[in-house]
Amino acid sequence: MDRVLTSRTDQIQLSTRTVSPFCGPAASAAATAAATFGSTGSGVAPAGPGVAAAPSAPSSAPAVLSFRAPSATMLPTLARPARRPDADIGGTHRRPGAAPDAYRGAMDPRGLDRLDRRISGCRACPRLVAWREEVARTRRAAFADWTYWGRPVPGFGPPDARLLIIGLAPAAHGGNRTGRMFTGDRSGDVLYQALYDVGLASQPTSVHAGDGLELHGVRVTAPVHCAPPANKPTPAERDACRPWLVQELRLLRPTVRAAVVLGAFGWQAALPAFAEAGWTVPRPRPAFGHGAHVELDAADGPALGLYGCFHVSQRNTFTGKLTPEMLRDVLRTAATAAGLRPAK
């Protein structure tokens, strides 16, 4: 029978020789269950960075968990209690009102890795947790032989990205299955094809997390990291997830110079996050529209060019509301503003 790992997995105690390489209750539960049961036999990938890899391709063989011992650099992290989502990820304490450490100093390439791992263990929204895990248990018939990711999906792209693309939330059988943003669904097909066409992606397809796709100077993220029912997160879920986006923006501040926001929901969710991360959002807040452009100044650093684009949803692309040419035009404009050199 399928079993989903949670942060309260039977309150089983680990032996003194079993150490989880991650902080947080979700990671502890995964290590506990692995030590006790060996393999979950579930359609949900176990939580925690000790898992060898995200789901990369369907397999008829049962999933086998592989946990690695923590390295010396990870041990100090194990000794600390888990931080709040809005805690600083840059590694040092920050005075109230001070500029983010990740921006004041040099770029912290490990900061985003730490943030991504923490995001993947979040269980803050009960409705989203229940839905993403239910989808992972039941699966779609076409993906019956997949082990679904079934957890929050972190951002994807290099830590020194100059262009940020902000969507809405992972798709139930896309990112929630593959563990990577816009991967394994038709919206992602449209987005990555366009990025490839303008020279910002290494290949035109995004099928699974191990397919070799690389982004050139671009990072893709979302204001909500869990797949929501009917693709509609609630305002409370959006607000609960905002600290993750704020931290991501702070860590990207040394390099990011432009952002493309896909859709009105992402636009409304991103504006307060940009403000909290240190950019100045005009009043009244700029309205969303395809091709909308506004410059967000920052008192302590470079400005950021913000661009609106219709979402790459099937509804928009099938009806022609958003065409590949329209998407490529926005990406080229934003990439040029960010200091990248897109293909013509």
Q: Is residue 320 part of a domain?
A: yes
Confidence of residue 57 (pLDDT cuts 50, 70, 90): low
- Residue 292's pLDDT is what? 98
Residue 226 has pLDDT above 50, yes or no: yes
Confidence of residue 106 (pLDDT cuts 50, 70, 90): low
Distance CA 94, CA 90 (A): 9
Q: Is residue 13 part of a domain?
A: no
Q: Is residue 103 part of a domain?
A: no
Residue-wise pLDDT for 191-219, tens only, equals 999 999 999 999 999 999 999 999 999 99
Q: Is residue 41 part of a domain?
A: no
Residue 343 has pLDDT above 70, yes or no: yes
Q: Is residue 290 part of a domain?
A: yes
Q: Is residue 203 part of a domain?
A: yes
Residues of the domain holding 197: 111-119+152-337
Residue-wise pLDDT for 281-296, tens only, equals 999 999 999 999 999 9
- Residue 213's pLDDT is what? 98
Closest CA to 304 of 264, 263, 266, 338: 338
| Between 177 and 45, residue with greater pLDDT | 177
Residue 24 has pLDDT above 70, yes or no: no
- Residue 108's pLDDT is what? 76
Q: What is the mean pLDDT of the chain?
A: 78
Residue-wise pLDDT for 60-71, tens only, equals 433 333 323 333
DSSP summary character for residue 301: E
* Alpha helices per DSSP H over 89-226: 101-104, 109-119, 126-138, 175-178, 186-197
CATH of the domain at 209: 3.40.470.10
DSSP summary character for residue 154: P
Beta pairing, strands 218-221 & 301-309: unpaired
The domain tally of the chain equals 1
Residue 3 has pLDDT above 70, yes or no: no
Average pLDDT of the segment spanning 216-224: 98
Q: Is residue 53 part of a domain?
A: no
Average pLDDT of the segment spanning 28-55: 40
pTM of the model: 0.73
Give the start-end residues of each E strand in 25-177. Answer: 163-166
Q: Is residue 231 part of a domain?
A: yes
